Every structure is written in structure tokens, then in C-alpha cells.
Amino acid sequence: MVPAGAGRDRTQATTRQRKTRRMNDLFGVDSPLTRVLTKIADLMIANLLFIVTSLPVITIGAAVTALNYTTMKILRDEQTSIVKDYWRSFRENFKQATVLWGIVVLLGAVMAAWYLVVDKLIQPGALRVGLWVVFYLILFRLVMAVVWLFALQSKFVNTVRETLRNARLLPIRHLFTTVMVLIVTTLPVVVTVFYPKAVGYGLAWLLIGFSGVCFLNSIFLNAVFRKYVPDEALVPGQG
């Protein structure tokens, strides 16, 4: 005979086992939730590294390059150690990325001077309007190039001249990607400026903001880069 309550005990045991399996599926090492949480943690580490290595200002080019390299690794689940990956790219790209950053700063200074001259010295009229039109066209074209520049540096082994050339051509060739990267980059900045409470008055940027934006951009940029070079052709220190 079956003892009284045995069937109920077996049912309860089976229910507990099912709950345990569901918990293991949810919090297991390879579960979707765990992978998402791991990526978030990795992005937070990369974000801290980026902030620290950007503090000298002159190193911003190398820092942006390393952040692009690291977030692309995270995107493809190829990261080994966030710190090691970031530092390797930072170190190996430092010289060339710093030159590129110097060029960006120089062009920014030229555009700032142009703005001041037109705004303060040129009288209202057709010349002023024409100069403003040319100014904003050139500015937009420069911004399009810059959003690709350090991602290209992180991914490919080229000379400074070749990297600048690719940063000039690819934004037009892949216009949809360029538009999406511009939206992803500028939207958080606009929200921060006009709705600072939404980002915790800058706290979100300190925690994950820079790497988060870079990670989202990597989704679009990596899809383009795969068309130009297979993963196995990449060299150490490049994405």
C-alpha cells in the first residue's frame, strides 16, 4: 500500500525541482539574464577606465580608441579581461590616436575661430549668410568624419593619412550607419543638457554613459566593419 500523503509529497518534490530548474535557467552562467548583467558590469569597468585615461585630455584620442576596441569585444563576447583588452588597445594605439586627436582639436579650433569671426566681425548681409551656410556644412561633414575616426583606428591598421581618408569616405558610403551613430551619440547629450535629472545630474555618465553610448554605436559600426575585413585577419590591439 502507498502511505498516506506519499503522492502529495512526490508532487511537492516535483514542484520544488521544477522551481529549482527555473531558477538555474534564470541565473545560470549561460542564462540570458546573466549574460546581460555581465555585459553591464563589463561596460561599467570600461567606462571607469575611459574616464581615468581621459583625464590628461591629451590622451582622449587613445582613450576613445581603446573604448571602441573594448566595447566591440564586449559586443561579440570576445572579451577576456576588460582591463587587459582596454590597456592593450590604449597602449598600442596611443601614438597614432594622439596624432588624430591633435588634428581633431586643431580643426575644432579653426571652426571656433571661423564662428567668432563671422559672428562678431562680419556685417549682416549676403556674405554673412553665405559664410554661415558654408560653416555649418563643413562642421556637419567634420562631425560625420569624427564619429567614425577613432572606431576605424581601433579596428584597422592604417597610416594616419589612410585613417583620415577612410573617415572621410565611409560616412557617405554608409550614410544610414552614420545617421544612427550621430543620433545615438547626440541624443544622450541633449537629454543631459535639457533634462539633467533624467541622467542623475551626470551620475549615469560616470557609471556607464560613455561606454554605453560607445557600445550602441559599436552595434552599427561593427556590422559595417565586418564587410571589409574578416575577424581572423585582425591583429592584436585592433578590434
Contacts of 85 (CB under 8 A, 6+ apart): 69, 70, 73, 79
Give per-residue pLDDT as tens, 20-43: 555 555 555 667 888 899 999 999
Report the percentage of the chain scoring pLDDT > 90.
74
Q: How many CB atoms lie within 10 A of CB 25?
A: 12
Q: How confident is the model at residue 80 (pLDDT cuts 50, 70, 90)?
A: confident
Q: Where are the domains of the chain?
A: 31-233
The alpha carbon torsion through 54, 139, 170, 215 (nearest 10 deg) reads 40
pTM, two decimals, is 0.84
Is 80 exceeded by the pLDDT of residue 232? no
Give the pLDDT confidence of 179-203 residue by residue, as tens digits.
Answer: 999 999 999 999 999 999 998 989 9
pLDDT one-digit tens code per residue, 123-166: 999 999 999 999 999 999 999 999 999 999 999 999 999 999 99
* Confidence at residue 9, expressed as pLDDT on a 0 to 100 scale: 55
- Is the predicted pLDDT of residue 2 greater than 70, yes or no? no
Q: Measured between alpha carbons, how far is residue 98 from residues 6, 112, 147, 158, 198 in Å?
A: 74, 21, 16, 14, 33
Q: How many CB atoms lie within 10 A of CB 234?
A: 14
Give Cα separations from 14 to 11, 174, 231 (angstroms): 5, 55, 47
pLDDT at 35: 86
The band of 229, judged by pLDDT with boundaries at 50, 70 and 90, is confident
- Average pLDDT, rounded, for the chain: 88
Q: Residue 234's pLDDT band (boundaries 50, 70, 90)?
A: very low
